Chain A
Amino acid sequence: MARARRHEAAFSDYVVASQDRLRRVAYALCGDWHLADDLLQEAFTKLYLAWPRLSADRDPDGYVRTTLVRTSIDAHRRRQRRVRTVALGAGQDPAAAADTPLEERDALITALQELPEQQRKVVVLRHWLGLSVRETAAELGINEGTVKSHSSRGLASLERVLAPQRHG
């Protein structure tokens, strides 16, 4: 019982410390803050179950990230039919928008959502989170050649969409 409490305390510390950065990854993958919350909650629930055997075995960030990227986000999105109400401006970080205009920030996330799901995941893992080709392949359970082709196609598509917006 004491061990279970220790696990839960450690898990709680981890959640509080990591939920912000991990939800940003989920948001980049799905383009919707509330769906991102749902995806992250699912990942945290799996992590909760795995926590006792995971602590010594694997980096929890890696576990959650793998859970997020191996989730079928588009299928999840189609299943989501709930109506939500959110307080205006809830939790918005005013410092966050300091450098980039809102429409440009939105454009990147919107353009990303236009990519096929696997391309989107490759772009996020490789070009935002900085994983190598090998690591991205391992994370997604695909081979390295596929990572390379998804990466180049994904970037080319983003460029086509964002270039007119940036220069227009």
Chain B
Amino acid sequence: MDLKDRFDQATSGGPSHPPLEERLHHGRRAAGRRTAGRALGGIVVAATVATGVATLSTGQEDRATDRPAPAVSSPTPAPALDIPVTASMENWEPEEWARMNPRTAELTVRRGVTATNMVDPAIRGFTSVALDLTRDGQRRYVLLVRRQGIVSVSWDAPAGRTLREFVADEQDPMDSLPIATVRGTLDASLPLVGYRDGELYTVGGAEIVRVVEDPIEGFCAPNATAAVELLHEGVTYFAVLGDGNCGSSFSKLGDVASLEAIVARRRANIDWAADAQGERQRKELEREVAEKREQSDRR
């Protein structure tokens, strides 16, 4: 059994959920607090913003602005790039210098950060930007990539590389794999095979013996999926995996008998999870209906 299956089973069960009304009550109460806080703090906020604009307009570093950031579209590197600066310091992680909006791909940099070079797109086929940034005299390359609505960011010192060389170094496909697999007693210590963007990737030295495409109807839809048998250092491994974050199954010969066996096990787990989820939702709805009926009867 692989680590994912172990997690699935170790986290099953648990006590009943609180009633939906209780969940909503917490939210409504927080919304009420927030509204009251805004009304009280309105004057203070306005004064703070005015001070902030005055400070920034002295032109110390960048063109700080709190207007919506326009999308970055320049395809060629250019010095002193006109990337909007986010004036607010709110919600920036300490090491975060640049950010891409996951929905619109709009790009902003933190106040005090200057961009001098850009590669856009950094990775063919993806909304992605590589930036050459400087902050407080420190220089850094940053790569922002949007995949399936999630923006990932990585960075490094230039270390004598061009910006494009940095992008190439960041593009080890095995790092992009959705999960690690089969090695060691936990069966999850080293990635051997993964599915990403329509391609199967393997580590060097792993040989794909057999691939069955889309072995389980509905698994990870609408992404492509595959069952894979591969050979690595004399050991046969099996995987059922998809081109998305759907969870994958891995095992090796001995723990399961064949590729067909791991596919059957995965199918059984999916069926069980769907049944269990459906049953819980059904009970939840029945209880809510009963509660509403009871309240209505009381009235």
Contacts and interface: CB of A to CB of B under 8 A. Distances in A.
Interface string B1-43: 1011111111111111110100110111011001000000000
B246 interface: yes
Contact of B276 (A93, A104, A139, A152): A93
A16 B285 contact: yes
A10 interface: no
Of the candidates B5, B14, B180, B277, the one having the most CB atoms from chain A within 10 angstroms of its own CB is B14
Contact of A143 (B11, B95, B176): B95
Interface size class of B (residues with CB under 8 A): 35 or more
B27 A135 contact: no
Interface in A14-31: 15-17, 19-21, 23-25, 27-28
Nearest to B17: A19
A126 B152 CA distance: 14
B71 to A, nearest CB: 15
Interface in A121-168: 124, 126-135, 137-139, 141, 143-144, 148, 151-152, 155-156, 158-159, 162-163, 166
A27 B6 CA distance: 14
Interface in A98-126: 99-100, 104-106, 108-109, 124, 126
Contact of B93 (A56, A126, A129, A141): A141
Contact of B248 (A99, A106, A130, A163): A130
Given A134-B176, A143-B95, A15 B247 contact: no
Given A8-B24, A100-B9, A132 B175 contact: yes
Contacts of A106: 10
Of the candidates A19, A46, A87, the one having the most CB atoms from chain B within 10 angstroms of its own CB is A19
B13 A126 contact: no
B184 A159 contact: yes
A19 B23 CA distance: 10
Contacts of A151: 180
B52 interface: no
B13 A58 contact: no
Of the candidates A23, A90, A128, A144, the one having the most CB atoms from chain B within 10 angstroms of its own CB is A128
A151 B184 CA distance: 14
Contacts of A17: 281
A33 B147 contact: no
A90 B15 CA distance: 5
B179 interface: yes
A141 B189 CA distance: 23
Contacts of A11: 24, 27
B103 interface: yes
B9 A99 contact: yes
- Tell me what chain A mostly uses at the interface: helix, strand, loop, or mixed: helix
Given A28-B10, A96-B276, A41 B150 contact: no
Nearest to B7: A128
Given A97-B13, A128-B3, A143-B155, A159 B281 contact: no
Interface in B184-214: 184-186, 188-189, 196
B188 A133 contact: no
B248 to A, nearest CB: 6
Nearest to B153: A138
Contacts of A141: 93, 96
A132 B148 CA distance: 12
B188 A138 contact: no
A103 B289 CA distance: 37
Contacts of A127: 3-4, 7, 179-180, 188
Nearest to B288: A16
B12 A12 contact: no
Contacts of A129: 245, 247
A141 B93 CA distance: 7
Given A92-B13, A127-B3, A151-B180, 12 more contacts: A15-B20, A15-B23, A16-B20, A19-B17, A41-B18, A95-B276, A97-B12, A126-B179, A127-B188, A128-B4, A131-B245, A144-B175
The 8 A-B residue pairs whose C-beta atoms are closest, nearest first, are A48-B27, A96-B12, A134-B152, A24-B11, A128-B7, A91-B16, A105-B10, A138-B152
16 contacts: A20-B281, A23-B17, A28-B7, A49-B34, A56-B103, A58-B102, A127-B4, A127-B7, A127-B188, A132-B178, A132-B196, A138-B152, A148-B175, A155-B180, A156-B189, A159-B189
